[in-house]
Amino acid sequence: MNGYESYMRELAQQMRSELTENGFKSLETSDDVKGYMNDLKDDETTFVVINSTCGCAAGLARPAAVAVAEQNEVKPTNKVTVFAGQDKEATQTMREYIQQVPSSPSYALFKGQNLVHFIPREHIEGRDINDIAMDLKDAFDDHCQ
């Protein structure tokens, strides 16, 4: 691993920890994603954060995800994350389940293996964090009961 890759891995670990220290399971390989998705029961809900090193992930996406997943009365059964640009195969595999235009950061909400809600980067970047949080709250309230 060269110096740049080492630096990016160290930097990304801090960003990954912001989610994993708040109950998100990090899926870091394609097999992790496939195994996780294949084991889901039809009535389970899974909140997926596609993480990123960009500013809107740091200032908006991760804080909103953590706050709503912890504070909303209605919560998903599971919380997972993949890291775009770091865990490339895991991210690609998750995007195959999502079947939307690749976007990071982004959020996906599944019921079983069925995507029921998706919030792409363009609905995160440049918005007020409270508006993003309300979008997540509404999705949880609609699909996680």
pTM: 0.95
51: domain CATH number is 3.40.30.10
Q: Which residues pair with 97 in a beta bridge?
A: none
User: How many angstroms from the chain centroid is the CA of residue 134?
Assistant: 16
Higher pLDDT, 53 or 51: 51
Could you list the active site residues?
54, 56
- 140 in Cβ contact with 74 (< 8 Å): yes
The total number of structural domains in the chain stands at 1
Judged by average pLDDT, the poorest of 8-22, 66-80, 100-114, 118-132 is 8-22
Q: Is the pLDDT of residue 40 over 90?
A: yes
Residue pLDDT, tens place only, 83-94 = 998 999 999 999
Query: Where in the sequence is the domain holding 69, given as residue range(s)?
Result: 3-143
Nearest residue to 44 (alpha-carbon basis) of 76, 75, 14, 16: 76
